[in-house]
Amino acid sequence: MSSEPIAGDFDHPNQQLRRSVIIALPFAFALSTIAVVLRLVARRITGTRLYLDDYLILVALLFKYGCSIGVVILLWNGMGSHITMIPQKNLDVYFKIGWSNGFVYPLCVAFIKLSILASYKRLFAARSMSRAVNLVALVVILWAIIVSLVGTFLCLPVAKFWHRALPGRCLDATSFYYGQQIPNIVTDLILLLLPLKSVWALPISKTQRVLLSGVFLVGILTLAFDIVRLIAMIHVTQIGPDITYNQAPMAVWTCTEAAVGIIAACLSHLRPLFHLASPRRLVRRPSPDMRKRQLNPPPEEGFSTDDTLFDPWGTQHSGFTGHSVCVELGK
C-alpha cells in the first residue's frame, strides 16, 4: 500500500498558502506591464520622444519581471512545503533565488524612484526642486548599492546562503530587513511630499491644485505596501526556520509592492489617453486670486517652460498670461 500524503510535503504543498501568491503574481505582472505600455502609447499620442524617466521605468519593469520569475521558480521548488521535506537539489535552487532577490528587488525599487525623480526634474522649473531631486536621487542610488552589496554578501562565503552547513557566518536577517526597508519607506515618503510645495505655488485654481496633488499622492499606496512588506518580513524571521512554508505572504507583498510602484509612477503620464473633457471646459477664465498669482508668481516655482521638457498633461500657452501653465487638453 502507498503511504498517505503528508500535508506540506514537497509533492503536496499547502495550497492555501500558495493560493495568494498564485493569484497576486499574474495580476502584478500584467498590471505593471499594462501601465508601462499605456505610458508609451500616451507618449506616441502626444508626439513626444521618450525621456530619461521613461527609460528608467522600462529598466524597473525588467527587474520587476525578474522578481516575478523568481517567485514562479520558488513555487516550483518548494514554497508551501516544509523545509525538511524538500529535496536538497530543489532547496538549493530555492535559496539561490532568495539570494538573488537581495539585489534584484532593491534595484527594481531604485529605478522606480529614479524614474519618478526624473519626472519631477523635468516637470518643475524651480532650482530648489532640482537640487532636492538630485539629493534624493543620490540617497536612492547609495541605498540601492549598499543594500545590493549587503544582500549579495549576506553570508560569507556567499555559498553559505544556500548551503548552511558550510563554515562561515551570516548577518542577522531581521537587521538586514530593517536596514533595507526603513530607508525605502523614508524615501517613498519624501517622494510623496517633494512636489506638493511647487504644485501649490502654481498659478492655477485651487481645485486644479488639489487634483494635481492627488495625482502625485497616488504613491501613498506604495508607501503602505512598503510598511506591510516590512511587517511580513519580520514575521517570517520570528515564526521559526521553516522559511519555505512560511514565506508566501512575504512573496505576495514583494510582487505587489513593485507593481504598485510602477503603476503609481505611470499614472500621471496617462492623461492623453482619456478624452473625458473638452478644452473649453478646462481652459477657464481666471479668478481674481488666480490672476494675481499669474501676474506675481512665487520666485522659481511652476512648471518648466523648457521646450525640451515633457508635461504629462500637455503644456498650453494661456491667452491671459505670459508663461506656460498646465492645461489638460485632449490630443
Question: Domain containing 222: what range?
Answer: 15-271
Q: What is the pLDDT of residue 14?
A: 74
Residue 274: is its pLDDT beyond 50? yes
Query: Could you tell me which residues come within 8 angstroms of residue 151 by beta carbon, excluding any fewer than 6 positions away?
Result: 99, 101, 102, 103, 106, 176, 180
pLDDT digits (tens, 9 = 90+) for 33-87: 999 999 999 998 888 889 999 999 999 999 999 999 999 999 999 888 888 888 9
Q: Quick one: what percent of the chain has pLDDT higher than 70?
A: 73
| Residue 316 counted as domain residue | no
| Residue 42 counted as domain residue | yes
Least confident of 13-27, 56-70, 223-237, 305-319: 305-319
∠ CA 292-283-196 to the nearest 5 degrees? 60
Q: The domain that contains 93 carries what CATH number?
A: 1.20.1070
| Residue 137 counted as domain residue | yes
Place of cell 510645495: 197
| Residue 242 counted as domain residue | yes
Q: What is the pLDDT of residue 325?
A: 33
Q: What is the pLDDT of residue 163?
A: 87
Provide the 10 A C-beta neighbour count for residue 27: 12
DSSP string, 13-62: --HHHHHHHHHHHHHHHHHHHHHHHHHHHHHHHHTPPP-HHHHHHHHHHH
Total domains present in the chain: 1
